[in-house]
Amino acid sequence: QPNPALGALSMGYLDGSDLPYYWSLANRFTLFDHFFAASQAGALPNRVAAIAGQDASLTTNTAPAGGITVPTVFNQLDQKHLSWKYYVQGYSTSSAGTTPQQQAARLIDAPVLGVPSLPAADATKVVSSSQYFADLAKNQLPHVFYVSGTVDSERAPQNPAHGEAFVESLVNALIQSGEWDHTVLLLTYDNSGGWYDNLPPPVIGGAQVGIRVPAILVSPYARSGHVDSTILDTASIPAMIDSVFGLGAL
């Protein structure tokens, strides 16, 4: 179907002159060039995989009636009494909305809100990304945190430079804080957002995964300027958390 925002454009790309900060991160830290979205079905299944190691059999962005019932890394962290937060850009409990469409969008932004096995008090751990900067200033980041960009989307045909600026604010604040020396931050995406990629998705664990997405490991522990070609996907995120904190694989 014709897209008025794109006009006659059928395929495009962005390079270092378009997104200089991302190029700088890739040159300074570790770039994963075989990192794939775990699911082909969209944002919600991939964001569920990012917290649960699986997509919970979701095939659309519609939340299941009974909620997300598979175990998550947050269940594991609670059991070990380890702190966590889920920072969401522009999040406010007073403006969360009540329509099915608003609730669906809210769940995509923070799928942890749709996990009925978590105690109600855990909902207070979903906060605005502004709290991320406040926590950094006090050197009080939790053991594990997620940051979800929502306002400045990089989905085509929107300008990815806006999302890049949001990421830059997150990373620069972290590097300049007292938390930097013991933090690992993985930058990646829940799906392709309509951007083209030339690498066919592989079969992982017997399942065809989604399209390749950018992924950069930003940390004093990351190898500078290194390109890691290990085949990874969204489920590698909770796998890393489980490995670091000895939680056992989901």
pLDDT at position 13 is: 77
pLDDT at position 105 is: 76
pLDDT at position 3 is: 61
User: For the residues 181-190, what does the mean pLDDT come to?
Assistant: 97
Structure-derived torsion over alpha carbons of residues 171, 225, 186, 233, reported in degrees to the nearest 10: 160
Both tokens of 56, joined, read 């919970």
pLDDT at position 156 is: 80
pLDDT at position 98 is: 62
Q: How confident is the model at residue 131 (pLDDT cuts 50, 70, 90)?
A: very high
| Residue 6 Cα distances to 65, 158, 194, angstroms | 36, 10, 12
Whole-model pTM: value is: 0.93
Is pLDDT at 96 greater than 70 in this prediction? no
Backbone dihedral region for residue 67 (phi beyond 0: left; psi -120 to 50: alpha; all else: beta)? left
Helix %, strand %, coil % for the chain, to 5?
35, 15, 50
| Residue 157 Cα distances to 12, 13, 42, 141, 153, angstroms | 10, 12, 17, 34, 10
pLDDT at position 238 is: 98
Residue whose structure tokens are 């900060």:
21
| Residue 65 Cα distances to 40, 68, 100, 166, 232, angstroms | 21, 9, 12, 33, 30
Is pLDDT at 1 greater than 60 in this prediction? no
> How many angstroms separate the CA atoms of 29 and 177, rounded?
18
pLDDT at position 106 is: 83
Is pLDDT at 161 greater than 90 in this prediction? yes
Task: Determine which of 14-18, 77-81, 90-94 has the lowest per-residue pLDDT on average.
Answer: 90-94
Task: Determine which of 2-6, 11-15, 230-234 has the lowest per-residue pLDDT on average.
Answer: 2-6
pLDDT at position 194 is: 83
